[in-house]
Amino acid sequence: MNKFFKYILPVLITVAATNGYAQTHRLEKLWETDTVVRVPESVLPDFNKRILYVSEIDGNPNAVDGKGEIAKITIDGKIIDLDFTTGLNAPKGLGRFGNELYAADLSEVVVIDINTGKVKNKIAIDSAKALNDITVNDKGIVYVSDSKTKKIHRIEIGSVTTFLTNIGGVNGLKAIGSELYILGGQKFMKADSKGNLTQITLLSCGGDGLEPVGNSDFLITCWSGHIFYVSADGKIETLLDMQEKKVNTADLGYDPANHILYVPTFWGKKVMAYKLITTK
C-alpha cells in the first residue's frame, strides 16, 4: 500500500462510519408566524378542524404564575386566538383524547374542553416538579414525563401511578399501541407495557419532541435547534441545525398525510412549518 492510501483509507472509513448512509430526506420551509406566540413549547394538530393547539409558557418555564395559555393557530399559520385557554402556569406538552385536551403544567395535568378552552379538571401529581411532555394512547391512558424527578407517570381514569423511574433527561413521549417511545437525554428508547426498555439509538443532543412518520421511522427535535429523521434501525439524518442561529426547536407536531412538521421555537416566540421531502 502506498503512503497516500495508507493515510487516506482510515479517513474514508471514518467518514463512512459517521455518515452511515446517504441523505434521503430534507425539509422545505413553508411558513412561520410573527413573533407573537408567547414562548411556545408544544404543538398539537387537530386536522378535522384544521387547527394547531400551541402551549404558551408566557414567561419563566418553571414559574407558578398563572400566566400560561393555550393558543389556536390555523394549519397555514394564521393566529386565531392566543388566549384560547388562560390561567395556566408554564404549560408544555399537549395530548388529546376525544374532546379533552391534556396539558402538562409543572406539577399537574390540566384537562381542557377542546371545544370551549375551559379547564375541566386538574390532576395533581404529588411528587412532580417539572412535568414536560404528555401523550395519550388509543385507550385514553395518559403518560407524562417529569424531567427533574426522572420519572414517567401514568394516569388511567384519574388515578396516577409511576410507570418508570430513573430516566435521565426524560422529555418527549409518544404512545403507540402497547409501546411507549421515550426521549431520555440523548437516548431514544421504547418501553413495552411492563416498562421493559429497549434503546433504539443515541442522539447527539438531548431529545425534546418526537413524532412517528410511518414504517417505525420518527422525526425528533432537540431544543438546541436540531431536527432529525430517525429510521427504524436507528440511523439518523440531520434535517435542520439552527444551533448557531440560537433558534430553538421544541415539541413538534406532525401531519402524516401531508408530511408537514409544525415546530415551536420557544424563546423565538413563533411557530414554523416545514414540508418533509423524501429525496430518493
What's residue 21's pLDDT? 56
Mean pLDDT of 177-203: 97
Q: Which long-range contacts (CB under 8 A, 24 or more apart) does 18-25 make?
A: 20/235, 20/236, 21/235, 22/280, 23/237, 23/279, 24/237, 24/278, 24/279, 24/280, 25/229, 25/237, 25/239, 25/276, 25/277, 25/278, 25/279
What's residue 280's pLDDT? 74
Q: What is the mean pLDDT of the chain?
A: 93
223-256 residue pLDDT tens: 999 999 999 999 999 999 999 999 999 999 999 9
On the question of pLDDT at 95 being above 90, the answer is: yes
102-144 residue pLDDT tens: 999 999 999 999 999 999 999 999 999 999 999 999 999 999 9
On the question of pLDDT at 4 being above 80, the answer is: no
User: Tell me, which fold does domain 22-278 have in CATH?
Assistant: Neuraminidase (2.120.10)
What's residue 8's pLDDT? 39
Question: CA distances (Å), 219 to each of 10, 181, 193, 238, 253, in order?
Answer: 32, 12, 23, 10, 10
Q: Where are the domains of the chain?
A: 22-278
